[in-house]
Amino acid sequence: MNNFTFYSPTEFVFGRGTEQQVGDMCLKYGAQRIMIVYGGGSIIKSGLLDKVSASLDAAGLPIIELKGVQPNPIDTKVYEGITLAKAFKPNLILAIGGGSVIDTAKAIAVGYYYEGDFWDFYIGKAKPQQAIPVGVVLTIPAAGSEGSGNTVITNTTTHVKAGLRQPMILRPKFAIMNPELTMTLPAWQTASGITDMMAHILERYLSNTTDVQIGDRLAEGMLMAIMETSEKLMANPNDYEARANIMWCGTIAHNDTCSLGRQEDWNSHAMEHEISAEYDVTHGAGLAVIFPAFLQYASEHNPHKVAQLAHRVLGIADSGNVKEDALKGALKLKEWLHNTLNMPVNFKQLGIENPDLELMNTRLHRLKGEIMQGYMPLDAQATMEIYRLAL
């Protein structure tokens, strides 16, 4: 087990009706002026925005709104938010939505204090020292950004989708999580979110750091809980209990609970970022296409963890042949994603008939270097093979 630091100070307020506490929570964390960030009209239509506004109003908190954050959030909205924030001077940014909204809020929160271009943080040119505190009212369980120190933004000029990880300053102060708010999510969005959280776990599980039994068992437990709960949820979208399990799973899938003390592998996420940056597909759906291909490649080149996953989570009997079992596991997961979640599992199903694999592969290695280190070292030939396996 490697040395690690774990600091997860977010206060999670979870359950029915909890959005009514948003005003009190903002006050508790010292807010005096609040910038609200959200996406499209769904929180207006559902009445959530009214409820939140009423609660903030009752708490006597002046607010300014930044709306129109889109899925696969983009730099231009961040610039707009920073400008707005510099004028309004909020001391808390409240994200109401899912990962895209929260990631945008975090980008504004660090960009606010920086003289240069906030994008510097995302390409490693500078390191943020402070951030405006962020609070969250979560409406989409998927990205886990409500509990993580991460944010991902797409640069609309370069088409680069890049992430920033700063747990010490970027974890939200509080996250209000009412599973009822997720009841009306379309099946497609629910399933994409579930795929995203499963990927977050697998990216921590696929590791060559040995002897992290606790991390392995927690990851396997989360995956089993997600799979059994997803089956209920896809059959009955109004199942509160299933919604609640999935919502909490999304948070702990990405708050490092199952990755502490070991190397992670985020190469499949990076490979998907190229797809969604170029073709603007839903992130989770892109992962459903890439991940099985990634596991299939791993079952040939570094099968041990994929085989363990197959045995412990996916119900594959141990045949003694590690590669064979790993491949069976990869195919089983692919089948499950398609049959249970109705996810696309290849480019065609994703709606991309002729993906420009060369373009994505070139951009990928331009951003990540010649050899992408991780569970398996991946050069351009290897990632191209994975992209091809996803055709």
The residues that touch its own copies, with contacts defined as CB under 8 A, are 1-18, 179, 210-214, 216-218, 220-222, 224-225, 228-229, 241-242, 244-245, 248-249, 252, 257, 260-261
| Residue that is written with structure tokens 């990851």 in the block | 219
Name the residue nearer to its own copies (CB basis): 63 or 218: 218
237: three-class secondary structure by DSSP:
coil
Q: Rounded distance, CA 361 to CA 387, Å?
A: 8
Q: How far is the CB of 242 from its own copies (least distance, A)?
A: 8
- Residue 363 has phi, psi (to 5 degrees) of -60, -40
Q: How far is the CB of 214 from its own copies (least distance, A)?
A: 4
Q: How far is the CB of 194 from its own copies (least distance, A)?
A: 13
Is the Cβ–Cβ distance between 227 and 197 less than 8 Å? Answer: no
- What residues contact 315, with CB distance under 8 A and at least 6 apart? 332
Q: Rounded distance, CA 105 to CA 376, Å?
A: 33
Name the residue nearer to its own copies (CB basis): 40 or 261: 261
CB atoms within 10 A of CB 28: 14
Q: How many CA atoms lie within 13 A of 219 on its CB side?
A: 28
Name the residue nearer to its own copies (CB basis): 142 or 275: 142
User: In 18-143, at which residue ranges do the beta strands (DSSP E only) sit?
Assistant: 34-38, 63-66, 92-97, 134-138
Q: How far is the CB of 369 from its own copies (least distance, A)?
A: 28
Q: Rounded distance, CA 199 to CA 216, Å?
A: 14
Name the residue nearer to its own copies (CB basis): 229 or 361: 229
Q: How far is the CB of 198 from its own copies (least distance, A)?
A: 13
Name the residue nearer to its own copies (CB basis): 146 or 325: 146
Name the residue nearer to its own copies (CB basis): 238 or 321: 238
Name the residue nearer to its own copies (CB basis): 232 or 338: 232
Q: How far is the CB of 11 from its own copies (least distance, A)?
A: 4
> What is the rounded end-to-end Cα distance, in angstroms, of the chain?
37
Q: How far is the CB of 152 from its own copies (least distance, A)?
A: 24
Q: Which long-range contacts (CB under 8 A, 24 or more apart) does 208-214 make?
A: 208/263, 208/302, 208/375, 209/1, 209/2, 209/261, 209/262, 209/263, 211/1, 212/1, 212/260, 212/261, 212/262
Q: How far is the CB of 154 from its own copies (least distance, A)?
A: 31
